[in-house]
Amino acid sequence: MATSSVTPGALAFVGPPHLPSLEGFSYLSIVRVQGNSAIVRKTGPDTSDDGPEFDVKLAVLRHRIVESVEAELWPGSYVGYPIAFVQSAGDSSDQWAYGLVPGYSMQDHIAQLHVLHEAQTLCVQLRSTSTVIAIDRLNYALQTGASVNSMVLNALELLDKQNQVIVACGKSRSGLPSCVTSTLLSVPYEPDQRVPLIRPDTLAIAYVRRQHIVDCELTARGKTSADVFKDPVLEEKEAAPDTRTNTVMPNVSTNDVDLTFSDSDDEGNASANTTRQAAIDLVRLQNRPLDKRARYADTDIQELFMTSDADVPTLETRADIHSSMFRPSQVESQVRNAIAHPGTLGKNAQAVLEAAQQARHTRFLSTPPVLRAAYDLSFGIRGLSLMHFRRIFEGVEAQYTTDAVNTANFGRSNSHQPANPPANIGEIVDAFDNLLYFAKCFYNTTVCDFIKTGSEFIVEYAAFARPDASTCTMLVYWINSKLGKFRSLIIASNIQAAALVGREFTRSDGHLMELYQAQQDRHVAAIVASGPTRPAPSTKQHHPREHKTAKASMVPKELLAVLPKQGNKVMCMRYLSKKGCTGPVPGKCFDPNRAHFKPLALPADAKSWIDKHFLAPNPATGRRREEQQAFSNSVQISPREQSLGEQHQNAQASIAYTSFRRQQQQAYITFQKSQLKASNQLEISRHRRYQQLASIYNVELSAQREVPLEGLDVDRIRADSQLARALKQPLGQFVRVFRGETAEDTRPNKDLFELPLPADATLRATTVRWDEIVRDGVKPRWKTHRPKEQQQHPSNHQTINKHLDRIRKHIAKGHREGRYLVVNADLSDLWTDIFISPIGVVEKAGSPQDVRVINDYSFPMGAAVNDFTDRCNFPDVSYNPPKDIARRIWELRIRFPGHPLLMMIGDVSGAFRHIPINADHVHMFAFHFDGFIVIDLSCGFGWCGSPAFYSVAGSLINALYESQRPPANLAPIDSSQFVGNVWCDDHTCIEIATGPRCMQAGIALRKAMTTVLGPRALNEDKFTQWSTKTKALGLLWFTENGTVSVPTQKIDKARCRIDCLLTAATCSLSSISKLVGSLRYVSTCFPAARSFYQNVQVFASTFHSPHERRRVPADVREDLVWFRAVLTVEHQFNSIPVEHFARLQPPTSYVMMDASDTGICALERQLRQYIRLQFSQDVRDGFATSMKDNSINVRELMSAVLAVTQVQHGPQKVGIVPMSACG
C-alpha cells in the first residue's frame, strides 16, 4: 500500500483504527477533495453506489491509497473474516478448507490473501470468487463442506449447503439440530476443539471453542449474546489449571435426562428418552406460577419475524393488549403500508418498532415515542422533528434513557418530548445522515430517495453557509414541514405524488424565502425599536469598591457592530474627539479591545455619538472637516422623508440599514455560491458518466478537461469522434449522451430547473412554456419543403479570415461549456442529416479586436435554415421600448418631486446560449471550421427563433424581479414592488433612492437571473452602478432633469455615413442598411426628421442581392443633404424631456402655420400674436421659373422653420416658454 495523492475516484483501504466509526476494514471511494478533508463513500462488492457520504482527513487517507485494480475482486473485503477456499497444493489439493484472513498483498496486480489455516499461514491467490468465499462464523465453526473436492461441490453448491445449515439452526431453540450434524456436515463436529477467531475491527486473533461460537450464533433473537471472542470456559481453565480435564459439557444432565426444552423438528426422532422428557415437561407445566395469562394474537408467531435482508433484528414478541402496546390507527396503517420497507410489510407493528429500537441502523436515541412517530412519518405538526434523529453518544444516551424516558412503553401515554433546537448547521447534517441511514432498513426506496434529496440539499447548504442558531432552527422547521407535506400527500393522493415534494428542497423554495423574509423583518424591527439609547441611571445603592463589577459600556452594541475595525479591535471614538483618549500610557487606549487609528469613512451614527458625548471630532486625527461634511451630506435625508416623522431617520446611514444591507449581501453571496457549487457538481457527474461510457469502448477521456486557452481541445474532439463511431447512434441520441440526458433527468442544460406555477394566471402559460424548454429544449418546427439532406455545404464568409484566433477561442469556450459539440468532419458520413451554415463575424462596439461570431442561418437565400423554419410556434415577444423607460422616469418624478432617481442596467451573459435546442433538431445548426464540424446545441445568434424563445426567460426574470419589494420600515418613501423594463437580455431598473431600495433591487434582479438561467447567466461586467446618468438602449438618460439624448458618437457616425454616401458614385446594400439604421436611431429624439429618410429606406428595399451596387438617386441625395443640415444643429433637438419623448403630455402651445404665394406666417392663438413674412417681388417671380425647388410643400416647411426659430428665440414680447419640436 503505497503513498499516493488523494484525488477524486481513488480507492483507500481503512479500518476502525483509522476511522472509529467503521465496523470493520472497508474500501472508501474518494468523491471529492475539500481543503484538508475528502468526501468519501464506502464501496465494495456488497455496498450500493448511493451510500451516505462522510468526510475524512487527508492525513488519514494519504498513506491508505490502493491501486484501482483492487476494485475487480476487492481483496480487502475478506480481511477480518473467515473464508472457505480451495487448497492448491499438497495431499488436500482441490479440497475445500476454512481459514481466517488477517491481511493481503498485491504482487504483479494479483491479490495474495494471507490465510491462517490449522496453525499455519498460507498465501492464497485471489483469481476468482469461485475459489474463495467469505462466510459466517457459524459455518466456520461447523466446517461445512470441508475436505470435499471442489469438483464434487462447487462454490454455488457450497453456498447452498451453508444456507441450509443457517436455516436449520435458525429453527432450533435447543442447540445444534441433529439434522445438521448427521446429514449436512462433511467432517465430524468437535465442540471442544480450540480454533482461532479474528476480530474484524482490530484483526486480533482469539482462540475459542467451536461450541462457544455455535452457542453465540444460536442465541435467541433479541437476547443479549455473549462475546464470541471471549470463551468463559477457556478463561476458567487458564485461571484454574488444576481443575478436571473434562470440564467442557455442552448440556449437563440429571439422571441422564435432558432438562432443556426442545422444539426442533428432528429432536423427537433422535432422542431415546422422549417419554421421560415429556413427563418432565408436563410436571413443569403443572407447577408453574399462576400469573395472568397473556393472549396471543391470531397470527402465526413466525409472522413477527422480519425474514428479509433488511438486517434488522426482530424481537420474539407477544401481542399483549394493554396500554404499553402500540396499536396504529387506520390512517397510520395506510401511510405505513405506502412507505414501509418490503421486509416489514404485514408484520406486527409492535414487533417492528421493538426490532428497530435495537437495530444496528439506529444511531439516534430510539425512544418509543420517536419510533412510534417515525412509523408513519409524523413530522411537522404531528410532533416529530428532524432533530429527534441527532446522534447521541453512549454516556449521554444511557443517562437520558434512564432518567427521563420509558424505553419499554410504546403506548400513546408515553408522549415524546420536543427536540432540542440545533446549535449549528452540522447538527442538522448529522441528523439527516442518521435519518437516511435508519430509513434504508425501515422505509422503501421511494422514501429513501426523498430523504436522500433533502440530505444532499442540506449538505450543499452547509458547504457555503454557516448560519446562526436562529436560522438553523428556522431550517429545521422548514425541513419538518416538507417531511410532513410528504405524509399529507400520501394520504390525499399517493406516494408518487408525494415524491414530487423532493423537488422543493431548493434555496428558491417559496416557503423558505417567506421564512427568510419574516426572520429578517423581525430582526430589523428589533434593531430599529431598540435604537441607540442611553442606559437609564441605576437606582441601586453603591457598594464598596472591592465589590464593584466592571462598568458596562455606554456605547450600544448596534453602534459597536458598525464601527471600523483594525484586526479584531474596534475603533476608539474618544481618539477621534477633541478631548482625545486618555489611556494608561501615552498612545494606549483606555479599553484593551479598542484601537487608535484613522478610518477611511466614519458612519453618521458614530459622528453623532462623538458630537453628543465626546464633543466634536478632532480634525487633526480624523478626515478633513470638508470631507466629513461631504460624507454626511451624501447620506443626508431629503426634506420629504424628514416630514414622514422622526421615527423614519436616514435609513442609509442608520444601524438598521447597515445590518439589513449586510444580511442581504451575505444571503445573496451564499445563494450564488450554492447555485454555482450545485452546477459544478452536476457538470462533474455528467462528465463522469460520459467518461465511464467511453471507457467501455476503450476510448481514453481525461477526468479533467485541460483545454488550451487559445486553441481547440483536439484530444477531446478525437475522443468524442471515436466514441460516436463506436456507438453508431444517430446524432440526436449521441447528443443526449453527450449532454447527460437520461430518463430520470431529461434536461439538456443542467443549469436550468423547472419553475413552480405562479399564482398570477397571466404568467402560468409562460411558466408552462418555459418548463417545457427546460425539460426537452426548444423544438423548432420545419416547413414541409425542407429537404432531408443538404445538397451543398456553403463556405464561411470571408470576414472571418482576420479573426481566426478569436473564433478558435470562442469555439473552445463553447466546447468547454458543453454548448458546442465538435467532431471530425468525416462523421458527416454517419450523420448525413447535418445542415451546414456559414459563419461570419461583426465587430463589437468599443474595440475592433472584440468580435461576435454570427451563424448566418439566412444564407444561402431560399435554402437557409431560416427559410425552412416554421414560425407558427414561436412565443410572442414582448419587450419594453425606450418610451417605457421615459414613462417610468416621468411617473417617479411626478410622484416624488425633488427626490433623486437612480438607474441601473443588468445584462445576461450570452443570453441565447442558455436556451438549449432539442437533441432531435440540433442537426440543423452546424458549421465547418478548421476541418471540424461544430454543432451548436443552443439557440444561435442568427437563428430567427432565438429572440422569441429567449423572451420566455426574459419575461420570467422580469416577473420574479417585479415580485420583490424592500421592507416598509427601511424604505418609507416607496416600499412598493419593483418595476422592470426588459429589452431582450438588457434589464433597466429605475428606482427612487430611499433606504435599501436600490440595493435590494440589484440583488433581486441578480437572483431572478440566477433562478431562471442558472449561476453562470450573470454578466457582472455589464451591470452598471446606480446613477442619475446612464446609457440604456443606446440613449443617454438623465434622471436628475428628466431628459434623454442621443450620444454625440452616434450623431457623428450618422453624419460620417451620410458624407460617405454623398461622395460615393455607387453604394451597396450593406452601406445603405447601416445608414438607415443610423438615421432611424437619431430620429428617436427628433421625430420631425423621419420624413427625410423615407426615400432612403425605399431605395434600400430595391436591392436584390447583398453584393449588388447601385447609383444613388437624386431624390435620395437631396433628402440626405437635408438630414445632414439637421444634424449640424443637434443642440436644437437633443436633450428633450422624457414626457415629450414618450408623448406623455399634450403640447403646451399650439402654433398654426401656413404658406402662400405671397408669404408665410405663424399664429400663436393663446397669446393672440402672429408672425408674418412677405416674399419680395423677385422671390415671387422666381416661383414661376423654379416651381420644383419652390413648391408649396417647400414653403410650408419654411413656415415650420419660421415657427421654431422665431416663436422660441424671437422677440421677448412673445413670451413663450422654451419648447421642443415634437413634429
Q: What is the DSSP secondary-structure string of 738-804?
A: HHT--SS---SSTT--PPPPPS-HHHHHHHHHHHHHHHH-B--EE-TT--SS-S-PPPPPGGGGGGH
User: Which one, of 993, 981, 933, lies nearest residue 957 by Cα?
Assistant: 981
pLDDT confidence tier of residue 1213, bands split at 50, 70 and 90: very low
Of the spans 313-327, 551-565, 725-739, which averages the highest pLDDT? 725-739
Question: Residue 32: its pLDDT value, please?
Answer: 87
Question: Residue 385: its pLDDT value, please?
Answer: 92
DSSP H/E element including 1052: helix 1048-1063
pLDDT confidence tier of residue 874, bands split at 50, 70 and 90: very high
Question: Residue 635: its pLDDT value, please?
Answer: 32
Interacting residues of 154 by C-beta distance below 8 A, sequence separation 6+: 130
pLDDT > 70: what percent of the chain? Answer: 80
What pLDDT digit, counting tens, does each position of 1016-1045 carry?
898 888 899 999 999 998 899 999 999 998
Give 208 or 631, the one with higher predicted confidence: 208
Q: What does the DSSP 8-state code read for residue 77?
A: G
Question: Residue 607: its pLDDT value, please?
Answer: 77
Question: Residue 22: its pLDDT value, please?
Answer: 85
Report the alpha-carbon distance of residue 421 to residue 473 in Å, rounded. Answer: 6
Q: Which three cell numbers stand for residue 879?
A: 419587450
Question: Residue 266: its pLDDT value, please?
Answer: 42
Residue with cell 416529530: 384
Give 466 or 1076, the one with higher predicted confidence: 1076
Question: Residue 293: its pLDDT value, please?
Answer: 43
**871: pLDDT strictly greater than 90:** yes
Least confident range from 214-228, 358-372, 483-497: namely 214-228
What pLDDT digit, counting tens, does each position of 1093-1145 carry?
788 888 888 887 777 888 888 888 888 888 888 787 777 667 888 888 888 87
At residue 58's C-alpha, the angle toward residues 52 and 59, to 5°, is 130
Question: Which SS3 state, helix, strand or coil, does residue 60 take?
Answer: helix
How many other C-beta atoms are found inside a 10 Å radius of the C-beta of residue 691?
16
DSSP H/E element including 1045: strand 1043-1045
pLDDT confidence tier of residue 316, bands split at 50, 70 and 90: very low
pLDDT confidence tier of residue 707, bands split at 50, 70 and 90: very low
Burial of 752 (0-12, 13-18, 19+ CB in 10 A): buried
What pLDDT digit, counting tens, does each position of 586-604 carry?
667 878 788 887 775 677 7
Amino acid at the residue 272: A
pTM: 0.51
**483: pLDDT strictly greater than 90:** yes
pLDDT confidence tier of residue 645, bands split at 50, 70 and 90: very low
What pLDDT digit, counting tens, does each position of 404-422 carry?
567 778 888 788 788 889 9
- pLDDT (average), residues 287-305: 43
User: Which one, of 930, 981, 985, lies nearest residue 959 by Cα?
Assistant: 981
User: Which one, of 511, 577, 556, lies nearest residue 659 by Cα?
Assistant: 556
pLDDT confidence tier of residue 884, bands split at 50, 70 and 90: very high
Q: Judging by DSSP bridges, how do beta strands 1159-1164 and 1109-1111 pair with one another?
A: unpaired
pLDDT confidence tier of residue 567, bands split at 50, 70 and 90: low
Instruction: Taking the CA atoms of 1070, 1073, 1079 and 1082 in sequence, report the sign of the dihedral they define.
Output: negative
Three-state SS annotation for 1086-1122? CHHHHHHHHHHHHHHCCCCCCCCEEECCHHHHHHHHH
Question: Residue 545: its pLDDT value, please?
Answer: 40
**144: pLDDT strictly greater than 80:** yes
Report the alpha-carbon distance of residue 969 to residue 665 in Å, rounded. Answer: 19
Buried b (16+ CB within 10 A) or exposed e, 633-652: eeeebbeebeeeeeebbbbb
DSSP H/E element including 938: none
Least confident range from 445-454, 689-698, 1174-1183, 1194-1203: namely 1194-1203
pLDDT confidence tier of residue 771, bands split at 50, 70 and 90: very high
Query: Are the C-beta atoms of residues 1099 and 1116 closer than 8 Å to each other?
Result: yes
pLDDT confidence tier of residue 629, bands split at 50, 70 and 90: very low
User: Which one, of 937, 934, 1001, lies nearest residue 967 by Cα?
Assistant: 1001
Give 182 or 200, the one with higher predicted confidence: 200
Residue 365 backbone phi and psi in degrees, to 5: -75, 95
Of the spans 200-209, 250-259, 579-588, which averages the highest pLDDT? 200-209
Give 403 or 347, the one with higher predicted confidence: 347
**1215: pLDDT strictly greater than 60:** no
pLDDT confidence tier of residue 240, bands split at 50, 70 and 90: low
Residue with cell 432539442: 918
Report the alpha-carbon distance of residue 189 to residue 177 in Å, rounded. Answer: 12
Question: Residue 221: its pLDDT value, please?
Answer: 47
Give 562 or 67, the one with higher predicted confidence: 67
**623: pLDDT strictly greater than 80:** no
Query: Can you say whether residue 345 is alpha, beta or left, with left for phi > 0 and alpha for psi between -120 and 50 degrees?
Result: beta
Question: Residue 586: its pLDDT value, please?
Answer: 62
What pLDDT digit, counting tens, does each position of 994-1009 carry?
888 999 999 999 999 9
Question: Residue 840: its pLDDT value, please?
Answer: 92
Report the alpha-carbon distance of residue 781 to residue 1040 in Å, rounded. Answer: 48
What pLDDT digit, counting tens, does each position of 972-983 carry?
788 899 999 999
Strand segments, DSSP code E, in 1105-1223 are 1109-1111, 1136-1137, 1151-1155, 1159-1164, 1169-1174
Beta bridge partners of 110: 107
Tell me the CA end-to-end span of the chain in Å, nearest whole number.
87
**1164: pLDDT strictly greater than 90:** no
Instruction: Taking the CA atoms of 941, 944, 945 and 950 in sequence, report the sign of the dihedral they define.
Output: positive
Question: Which SS3 state, helix, strand or coil, does residue 221 take?
Answer: coil
Report the alpha-carbon distance of residue 293 to residue 285 in Å, rounded. Answer: 13
Report the alpha-carbon distance of residue 190 to residue 206 in Å, rounded. Answer: 18
Least confident range from 64-68, 538-542, 654-658, 1160-1164: namely 538-542
Buried b (16+ CB within 10 A) or exposed e, 251-285: eeeeeeebeeebebebbeeebeeeeebeeeeeeee
Q: What is the mean pLDDT of the chain?
A: 79
DSSP H/E element including 839: strand 839-843
**300: pLDDT strictly greater than 70:** no
At residue 906's C-alpha, the angle toward residues 901 and 909, to 5°, is 175
Question: Residue 671: its pLDDT value, please?
Answer: 85
pLDDT confidence tier of residue 903, bands split at 50, 70 and 90: very high
pLDDT confidence tier of residue 759, bands split at 50, 70 and 90: confident
Q: What does the DSSP 8-state code read for residue 225?
A: P
- pLDDT (average), residues 275-283: 58
